[in-house]
Structure 1
Amino acid sequence: MADRKPIESWLTDMDGVLIHEGTPIPGAKEFLRKLQESGKPFLVLTNNSIYTPRDLSARLAGMGLDVPEDRIWTSALATANFLKSQRPGGTAYVIGEAGLTTALYQAGYVLTDKDPDYVVLGETRTYSFEALTKAIRLINDGARFICTNPDETGPSTEGVLPATGSVAALITKATGVEPYFVGKPNPLMMREALNTAGAHSETAAMIGDRMDTDVVSGLEAGMQTVLVLTGLTAPEDVERFPYRPTRVVKSIADLIDEI
């Protein structure tokens, strides 16, 4: 690792790195403050497509964490950018919340259930049987199937919740059609984040708490990767994977002095 260039840009996951179950992780506030003072490019990434960057900025501010909305990159934004690049001015039937619908509107998409180009599945806490049935029929009629992220479960204060990947599996079972997942671990999300931040992969680092999303997508995008142990991954889990992070640290607090 000695020949790696100094880190000039930082990408960091949100849940498990900066916050845990609605509470800031010790050191997160200081890490973010030092990042902003340094002037180095950075983005906070999340596979959660429910909220807009403005929503997330306000939620983080309520926890005492200062992250401007233009420093937040979501799977909804990555999905909207991808669809805009693939089929500008297209149409989509969307199952999701404001974070996804707003991103698609801003990308110039028309949301409709009449012969859409795409069925786009995102995160929501209110999946309806009627909406899923509509999505299945539209895909069977030829709509392309896009999913914001493959996460099968998500955290909550009550325990795990079924997430986008689980619902996508239901639709795939009913249609025989596999979705294209845009969010992590697809390195596409990382490359778009780097472009948004004005950063370069050879001098950037990705901080995350999951080997199967954060670390692998950072690695495949050519970045250094830092695994923190404040989320879903225990030290013994690292050895189970065929790839390794550049570094493993206890928490985000261990990185404050490196900015």
Structure 2
Amino acid sequence: MMRTDNRTYQKTFILDMDGVIYTKSKLIPGAADFVCRLKQKNFKFLFLTNNSYYTAKQLKGRLSEMGINVTEDYFYTSAMATASFLKTQKPMGCSAYVIGGQGIIEEFEKHNITVTSENPDYVVLAETEAYDYKKIIEATHLIREGAKFIATNPDLTGPTLRGPVPACGALVAPIEKVTGIAPYFLGKPNPTMMYWARKKMGVHSANCFMIGDRMDTDIIGGLESGMTTCLVLTGVTTRKNMTRFPYQPDYIFSNLGEIDPDTILSRRDRVEKDL
């Protein structure tokens, strides 16, 4: 029998941003209506992005310009996941040499993680517009001297109005090749990021829907985290290339506007309904 007690079971939604809410600077049809339905029915939801460059305030402003108005609490980035992870690993004090933008710097300040080049515990690489040879050399030396290598996300490219540009996953290459040490990526599809996002909302994976446009980050990340997965065909993935993956989403939609938060069933409820 399906559960109907809303005190113990509340559907929640985690939404990827680029390719789901917008492409480049244009809002995707159906996205604003879906977010409006979530707000009207008091569903918990969160915008999730692998981009560590922007702060929650900047992301809020971007969506506001497109007509979606939410507070800064509705965003969770790979920079936030990285800061939470490091603080958990070293709760008594943590330091890092950082190559990254304002998003990662701000989160480290909030978590009292010391940013330094003096014997840091970690070297952390994130999206940045200040990536130069001097910083690559310093990061290489520090890793060889014992600092652990962390990167905010494995994305090789990021979208811009002029087309794809190198993202964090590409920027790690020279450091990894010289040191022989691969970084630990905190962003999607790492289930750790999904865990911290759900923790922020205070919800369980069985009640949570992951909505994204990428099979190799959003869908597999949601699947490995125990969430119900929804693929929207407004971004990277098409019905044709989706079939090449050994795993498949629970649902496929043309866009967010097709999703009815009231009636969509979690994987758990679909199983219980069939019993």
TM-score class, shorter-chain normalisation, is over 0.9
Alignment equivalent of 1:84, drawn from 87, 106, 109: 87
Cα drift, residue 67 of structure 1: 2.6
* Superposed counterparts of 1:1-259, under 5 Å: 8-88=11-91, 89-256=93-260, 258=262
| Gaps in structure 2 of 5+ consecutive residues | 264-275
Scaled by the length of structure 1, the TM-score of the pair is: 0.96
% identical equivalent positions? 47
Label 1:249 to 1:165 Cα distance change in 2 as closer, same or farther (>3 A): same
**Whole-Å Cα distance in 2 between the matches of residues 230 and 4 of structure 1?**
32
Shift of 1:62: 1.2
Q: 1 CA distance for matches of 2:14 and 2:145?
A: 39
**C-alpha offsets along residues 190-241 of structure 1, whole Å, 9 cap, x if unaligned?**
0111111111111110000000000000001101000011001111111111
The code of the aligned residue for 1:243 comes to Y
CA distance in structure 2 between the aligned counterparts of 1:41 and 1:128, rounded to whole angstroms: 41
| TM-score scaled by length of structure 2 | 0.90
Q: Return structure 1 stretches of 4+ with deviation > 6 angstroms.
A: 2-7
User: Structure 1, unaligned stretches of length 5 or more?
Assistant: none
State the Cα distance separating 1:68 from its structure 2 match. 1.5
Distance of aligned partners of 1:254 and 1:4 in 2 relative to their CA distance in 1, 3 Å threshold? farther
Bigger radius of gyration among the two: 2
Distance 1:3 1:233, change over 3 A: farther
Change (3 A) 1:61 1:256: farther
> SS state of the match for residue 47, structure 2?
strand
